[in-house]
Structure 1
Amino acid sequence: MERINTVNGLTIDFERIRNIRQESEFLIIEYNARIEYSKNPFTGEIEKSEISESISKEFHSYESARDNHIDIKDYWNEYLTQKV
Structure 2
Amino acid sequence: MGGGPRYPYPKEVWSPAGGWWSRPANWKSNTAIIGTGMLIICAITWKISAEKEVRYRPPRKWIPSMMWSKQFTEGEYKDIKFDEDYVKK
TM over 0.5: no
Which structure would you say has the larger RCO, counting Cα contacts within 8 Å and 6 or more residues apart? 1
TM-score between both structures, scaled by the size of structure 2: 0.27
Larger helix share, 1 or 2: 2
Greater share of strand residues, 1 or 2? 1
